[in-house]
Amino acid sequence: MNNNHKSFEESLESVSQVSGFFQHVHTTLENLHAQFDRFRESVHEVNDETYQVQTATKELAAVIEEATAGLEEIDATIETMNEETYKIASYVDETAASAEKIKQR
C-alpha cells in the first residue's frame, strides 16, 4: 500500500505541475489577448489620425490651388495694366509731340 500511496502522490504532483503549466499558458494567452486588443486600438487610432491628416492635406491643397489661381489672375491683371500703361505713355508722348508741333506753328 505504501507503493500505491507513493505512486498516488507522484501522480498528484504531476497533475499539479501540469495544472500549473496550463494555468501559466492560460495567463500568457490572456496577456497576449490584452496586448492584441491594445494593438488593435492603436491601429484604429493611427487610422483615424491618418484620415484626419489626409483630410487636412486635401483641404490645404484646395486652398493652395485657389490661392494659385488668384495669384495667376493678379499676374494677368498686372500684365494687362502694364500694357495699358505703356499705351498711355505712348499716347502722352504723341500728345506732347503734337502739342509741340502746334506750339511751333
Instruction: Give the burial string for 18-36 (b: 16+ CB within 10 Å, else e).
Output: eeeeeeeeeeeeeeeeeee
Using alpha carbons only, how large is the chain's radius of gyration in Å? 45
Question: What is the structure's pLDDT at 48?
Answer: 97
Q: How far is CA 99 from CA 48, 70, 86, in A?
A: 75, 42, 20
**Nine-digit cell string for 84:** 495699358
- The pLDDT tens digits for 26-37 are 999 999 999 999
**Nine-digit cell string for 50:** 491618418
- The pLDDT tens digits for 49-87 are 999 999 999 999 999 999 999 999 999 999 999 999 999
User: How many CA within 13 A on the CB side of residue 97?
Assistant: 6
Question: What is the structure's pLDDT at 9?
Answer: 83
Report the C-alpha dihedral over residues 34, 35, 37, 39, rounded to 10 degrees: 170
Global confidence as pTM: 0.55
Question: What is the structure's pLDDT at 1?
Answer: 58
